[in-house]
Structure 1
Amino acid sequence: MGDRWQVEVDRSVCIGSAQCVHHAPDGFRLDTGRQSHPVDPEADANERILAAAESCPVEAIVITLLGSGEPVFPPEE
């Protein structure tokens, strides 16, 4: 079995650019206020969700390993 991720969007930072929806249409949705949210906050690790996080112009998406909380994105510096 592969890794599972906790996917969160900081709505105080999200500007509604929809880049996440473009890169991972099955992973993110915009609500009526144009704020992003994950379709499933506990998702299987996949490249589309990671690409969505990397493409966010304000880095509003945070991904951690489910269970351990180890950062996936943004990576620890």
Structure 2
Amino acid sequence: MKAIVDKDTCISCGLCPSICPDVFEFDDDGKATAIVDEVPSEMEDTAQEAADSCPVSAISVE
């Protein structure tokens, strides 16, 4: 499973790193980014929760 953040859509609200800090953090540009190439299996549900919680739907988890 892979998490992808659309930086053009991201509004830096902070929900994704607060929900799933093992997968998301803010980059130097102030936008969220996925910090893992593959979401660990034990974090898949939490990563999906972060994606579902994004107010602008900037995150896809595939």
Coarse TM-score class (shorter-chain normalised): 0.7 to 0.9
Which one-letter code corresponds to 2:14 in the other structure?
A
Q: What RMSD over aligned residues (CA atoms) do the two structures have, in Å?
A: 1.1
The one of 21, 26, 32 equivalent to 1:30 is 26
The one of 9, 12, 18 equivalent to 1:16 is 12
CA distance in 1: counterparts of 2:14 and 2:30, whole angstroms? 8
TM-score, normalised via structure 1 length: 0.71
Question: How many residue pairs are counted as aligned between the two chains?
Answer: 60
Structure 1: unaligned runs, 5 residues or longer = 65-77
Percent identity at matched positions? Answer: 30
Structure 1 runs of 4+ with >2 Å offset: none
CA distance in 2: counterparts of 1:63 and 1:51, whole angstroms? 10
2:42 matches 1:63:
no
* Greater share of residues in helix: 2
Structure 2: unaligned runs, 5 residues or longer = none
SS of the residue corresponding to residue 25 of structure 2 reads strand
SS of the residue corresponding to residue 42 of structure 1 reads coil
TM-score, normalised via structure 2 length: 0.86
